[in-house]
Amino acid sequence: MDALEIRKVHWAGFESGGILGLILAANRPERVASVACFNTPYRSPGSENTMKDLFRCGFSTFDDAIDKLGVESWVRKLCESGVLIDPVDPAIVEWVVQQAASIPATVAHEWHRVFGRTSSLLTDLARVDVPVLLVAGANHVHGCEPPLLDQFRSKLKHAREVVYVPGVAIGVQLLQPDACAQTYLEFLRGIEGTQA
């Protein structure tokens, strides 16, 4: 933001990108006007353990899975099993795999290490003092299911009602982009209406 001389943003992120937006809003509130989170998980220790098991892909650790499969094959396996995205559209699954293919294994290791600590990263939610939008697939089962997102929402002072997009679980922003865009635009219009 500094390099681009951007003073304040409306942050929109999916999955871990939403977590980063909330962390920024908590720590640099003067730089964030709002945060929109798409399929951003709020995990209990139990759901975090489930995710760790899924990301291991049958190996003893996710590090072993990345090292033995390689990043591209690891991501492909996660996509095909419905962990990273609903495998309903082979073209979108292939696009996700190809996007991840150039990620160095060292980056994949560190990203997963951070992502695996979601519940410990979101400890300062009470300091988030901007409007927040939470959007998830209605069929999500890995940290974005209604009980967890309702708990997430209750910790945010200015969170809107959670929007659940029907017919999708994981990858709502890729599988239902029009619904996500419409929801986000309505959210931004609502913010403008309250600030006028």
Domain 9-42+122-195 fold: Rossmann fold (3.40.50)
27 CB-side CA count, 13 A: 9
Look at residues 19, 3, 27 and name the one whose alpha carbon lies nearest to residue 111.
19
pTM of the model: 0.85
Per-residue confidence in pLDDT tens, the chain, 196 aa: 889 999 999 999 998 889 889 999 999 999 999 999 998 888 667 777 788 888 899 999 989 999 999 999 999 999 988 888 888 889 999 999 999 989 999 998 888 777 666 556 667 788 999 999 999 999 887 778 888 888 889 989 999 999 999 999 888 999 999 999 999 999 999 997 655 3
CA distances from 42 to 19, 46, 117 (A): 9, 11, 10
Q: Confirm if 104 and 119 have CB atoms less than 8 A apart.
A: no
Q: How many other C-beta atoms are found inside a 10 Å radius of the C-beta of residue 51?
A: 20
